[in-house]
Structure 1
Amino acid sequence: MGLWIPFTLFAAFMQSMRNAIQSRLSKEISTAGVTLARFLWASPVAAAYLLMLYQFDPVAVPSFDTGFVLTVAAAAVSQIIATALMVVLFRLRNYAIGVGLAKSEAVIAATLGALFFAAPLSPLGWAGVVIGGVAIWLMGNAGAIRELPLKTVMTGLGSGLGFAMTTLWVREASLMLDLSFPHSAAWVLLWVISLQTLMLLVWLAIREPATLLELWRRPKIVMLTSLISCLGSLGWFTAMSLESVALVKTLGQVEVLFTLAISAAWFKDKLGRRDLLGLGLIVLGALCVILA
């Protein structure tokens, strides 16, 4: 079994937990505030992980050229936008369906990776992409076929596109560093999270200072969100430094299994037959990738 597989499964589990917490927090805090909660305390965790790696394997500190900085900056901005759209998505439909629509990320990443990032897929891999696309369409249409909720679908696709571009740029940044996979992924993680935290803090300090106070009043849930988010990103970034984004993100759709359990146990969400079919097809698409 490739080492990228356990990292991907770990990341998917952490992401499902983070999404659940963010969904609940979105009922109390603004979209920008919930987005910041994901990154606020993650930088110290990422820095500690990097220091730990250097204690066990003290390799040289890489140089960061302009291309690297621009790539991680693009990834940071893209992930902020994608996260904000996901928070909006939570308010449009229930938790499980919101996550399911945002998982269009896997389909988009596979397509863009094959077209622009030299990451082609096998026929079976493309079958997984097609199956995932059908699943997203089913989940975006809870009623009759002609009643497709365009706002929900477009928000989900926008979130998916943002996350897809983030992952593609993260992999590109990792490949720019002349380091082994754990160190390169850790450096990219620290750069991206630090930039995101700085940008959001400045934005909220100018536009929504009251939101910063609301986050300060909820230290436990904010710290938990940041910790789980950082662990999830660590898994994603490491997996993507080892394997193509298309394979990692398509396998990562097993997150829906964790999402279903959390949705039923925590949020008491009820899913229709079309929703369950869509979630099942997402899992089938992920299995196609494993077999490919």
Structure 2
Amino acid sequence: MPLWALVALVAAAAQTARNAAQVSLTATIGTVGATQVRFLFGLPFAILFLGLVMVATGETLPTLTARNLIYTTLGAMAQIGATALMLITMKSQSFSVTTAWLKTEPVIVALAAAAVLRDPLSWSALAAIAVATAGVLVMSVKPAKHPRDWLTPGPALTGLAAATLFGLSAIGFRGGVTGLETGGTLIRSTTTLVLSLTIQTGTLLVWMTLFDRKALAASLTHWRRSLGAGFLGAFASQFWFLGFALTSAANIRTLALAEVIFAQLVARVHFGQKLPLRQGLGMALIVLGVGLLLQSQP
């Protein structure tokens, strides 16, 4: 298995654990409060990771470049915007419909990365991405009583916009990592992670101070649980960014669909929930798509 594939799988597993940790926080401090926890409480751990990398490798911080700053800022702001649009879509649509729109991201990433970053994209890789994405759609989409809901202009546009922004965030982060001209893969990816979290933390602190002080105060009150979610978020992001340094954003975001499988396994083993035939078929398609993607790589 290629190193980038192993890195992406570790990131997906860590992100699944982070999502589980944030469930109770969402109920306690609200969606916005729980969302900013991954940035505010993740930043100190990212800085710690950077320090450990510098000690282990003996390298100094790479010199920031205009390309790194521009792409990292793009990725950071796109990720915040995507999260906001996702929440807006969920207010008017079911979770399954929202998920279906969001999981078009790998296809969007593949096409946009090929155009913007000149990441290589073969027809076989694109087909593999399409198969894996179809698997997520099969798992997420239940037969609708009112098919017209899928075509409601507002939710459709916000859902696709959220997927596009999530895709842009992946492209921005890869562009940020590759925009650093000095240093090894590990220190370049970790430096970009710290920069991204700094931008996101500063932006959300200003926003919440002005518009949602209650949620900000609540996240600080429940700092123990927030630290746990922050650590898992930073740990997952460390591997996402390392993956972006190793291969194209399309490869990483496609393999990230394994997170859906991990979530189903957690639901089956930990909560004793049965796996419906439709979801089993979707998981099989995801595994097939990932396998085809790995085979398509040189």
Shorter-chain TM band: 0.7 to 0.9
Matched, 1:222 2:200: no
Equivalent pair of 1:20/1:262 in contact (CA under 8 Å)? no
1:10 counterpart residue number: 10
Pick from 163, 167, 170: which aligns with 1:167? 170
Equivalent pair of 2:8/2:239 in contact (CA under 8 Å)? yes
In 2, the alpha carbon distance for the partners of 1:263 and 1:162 equals: 28
Residues 98 and 272 of structure 1: CA distance in aligned 2, closer, same or farther (over 3 Å): farther
Shift of 1:97: 7.9
Q: Mind listing any 5+ residue stretches in structure 1 that lack a counterpart?
A: none
State the TM-score, normalized to the length of structure 2.
0.85
Shift of 1:20: 2.7
Alignment map for 1:56-205 (pairs within 5 Å): 56-87=56-87, 93=94, 102-139=102-139, 141-144=141-144, 147=147, 149-150=149-150, 156-178=159-181, 179-205=183-209
2:41 counterpart residue number: 41
Partner SS, residue 30 of structure 1: helix
Residues 219 and 65 of structure 1: CA distance in aligned 2, closer, same or farther (over 3 Å): same
For 1:188, the aligned partner's letter is: T
Equivalent pair of 1:37/1:226 in contact (CA under 8 Å)? yes
2:251 counterpart residue number: 247
In 2, the alpha carbon distance for the partners of 1:155 and 1:270 equals: 32
Residues 125 and 146 of structure 1: CA distance in aligned 2, closer, same or farther (over 3 Å): farther
Matched, 1:213 2:217: yes
In 2, the alpha carbon distance for the partners of 1:52 and 1:3 equals: 21
In 2, the alpha carbon distance for the partners of 1:216 and 1:187 equals: 26
2:236 counterpart residue number: 232
In 2, the alpha carbon distance for the partners of 1:28 and 1:271 equals: 29
Shift of 1:86: 4.5
Residues 148 and 227 of structure 1: CA distance in aligned 2, closer, same or farther (over 3 Å): farther
In 1, the alpha carbon distance for the partners of 2:282 and 2:90 equals: 18
1:257 counterpart residue number: 261
What RMSD, in angstroms, separates the aligned Cα atoms of the two structures?
Answer: 2.8
Residues 67 and 123 of structure 1: CA distance in aligned 2, closer, same or farther (over 3 Å): closer
In 2, the alpha carbon distance for the partners of 1:157 and 1:270 equals: 30
Shift of 1:155: 5.2
Moved more, 176-185 or 263-272: 263-272
Residues 104 and 35 of structure 1: CA distance in aligned 2, closer, same or farther (over 3 Å): same
Q: Percent identity?
A: 27
Moved more, 159-168 or 185-194: 159-168
Equivalent pair of 2:8/2:255 in contact (CA under 8 Å)? yes
Equivalent pair of 1:9/1:252 in contact (CA under 8 Å)? yes
Q: Mind listing any 5+ residue stretches in structure 2 that lack a counterpart?
A: none
For 2:295, the aligned partner's letter is: L
State the TM-score, normalized to the length of structure 1.
0.87
Residues 29 and 104 of structure 1: CA distance in aligned 2, closer, same or farther (over 3 Å): farther
Shift of 1:156: 4.7
Residues 270 and 78 of structure 1: CA distance in aligned 2, closer, same or farther (over 3 Å): farther
In 2, the alpha carbon distance for the partners of 1:31 and 1:153 equals: 21
Partner SS, residue 73 of structure 1: helix
